[in-house]
Amino acid sequence: MSAPQKVVLVTGSATGVGRACAVRFAKLGFAVAVNYSKSETDARETAALVRACGVPVLVHQATVADDAQVREMVARIKTEFGGLDVLVNNAGTTHFVAHTDLDALTDAVWDEIFQVNVKGAFYCTRAAMPLLKERTGCVVNVTSVAGLTGQGSSVPYCASKAALNCITLSLARAFGPEVRVNAVAPGPILTRWLAGREAQVEKYLEQAPLKRAADPDDIADAVVYLARGTTLTTGQVLVVDGGRTM
């Protein structure tokens, strides 16, 4: 009997890094679950790119900040694809707030960022873990160098990514050897998140040996490596920022 087709869930895969990861896994022969919260048109475009690679695709709307929606999404993946091999926790959010403007950091700002970036990744991992254990799968969290340096779009964003880095280590310890858990920590990425902030990015990258920001494919390289290019790597946070933070 032939092995079942490999399956990947990429959260927040309507655009940017998530889309790049979805297409890259499709080219490797994975069936792909495309997740989005609001951008249905973009998600359908991602699905078309995946389908063009000749693999099955499903598109599912769910906010990762809602545990019930996450569980429903994973249950659908099990029903339609039969299992799950790789979870890429890519969905994220932020607010751009100067680090000195503490009064702007309301409870609502803190709660939204942590609900998506931290609890959302946890909800997805918790729901997916039984399926991942069945197939000796893996989790790749997309975090940020902001969680290592304290520099980023806002103080809560930096704190949320630091928390996700730590969760990566905790889960790697808890679920090895069945499931590997790693993270990719990008620096600035040329997506719509940074539109209008190009001058800030250029200044930040003056101290980077490679002198350029990432594009989504650069991050997909690292995600796919941690998922498929290594079998003895777990509990690691791989920085992909052109050497800026070394």
Catalytic residue (choose from 36, 123, 157, 204) = 157
CA distance 161 to 142: 9
Contact 16, 45 (CB under 8 A): no
- Residues with Cβ within 8 Å of 41's Cβ and at least 6 positions away in sequence, in order, are none
What's the CATH code of the domain at 67? 3.40.50.720
- The 10s digit of each residue's pLDDT in 85-129 is 999 999 999 999 999 999 999 999 999 999 999 999 999 999 999
Exposed/middle/buried for 221, CB within 10 Å: 0-12, 13-18, 19+? middle
Dist. CA 109–CA 9, nearest whole Å:
27
From the CA atom positions of the chain, what is the Rg in Å? 17
Domain that holds residue 111: 7-240
What is the phi/psi pair of residue 119, to 5°?
Answer: -65, -35
Closest by Cα among 42, 43, 44, 141 to 89: 141
- Please tell me the distance from the alpha carbon of residue 230 to that of residue 222, in angstroms, as a whole number: 11
Count of structural domains, the chain? 1
Report the Cα 240 to chain-centroid distance in Å.
14
Structural domain includes residue 1: no
Minimal CA–CA distance to 189: which of 181, 177, 197? Answer: 197
Global pTM value:
0.94
Q: Is-catalytic flag, 157? A: yes
Q: What is the pLDDT along the chain (246 residues), one digit of tens a residue?
A: 567 899 999 999 999 999 999 999 999 999 999 999 999 999 999 999 999 999 999 999 999 999 999 999 999 999 999 999 999 999 999 999 999 999 999 999 999 999 999 999 999 999 999 999 999 999 999 999 999 999 999 999 999 999 999 999 999 999 999 999 999 999 887 766 556 666 676 777 778 788 888 889 999 999 999 999 999 999 999 999 988 888
Residue 180: inside a domain: yes
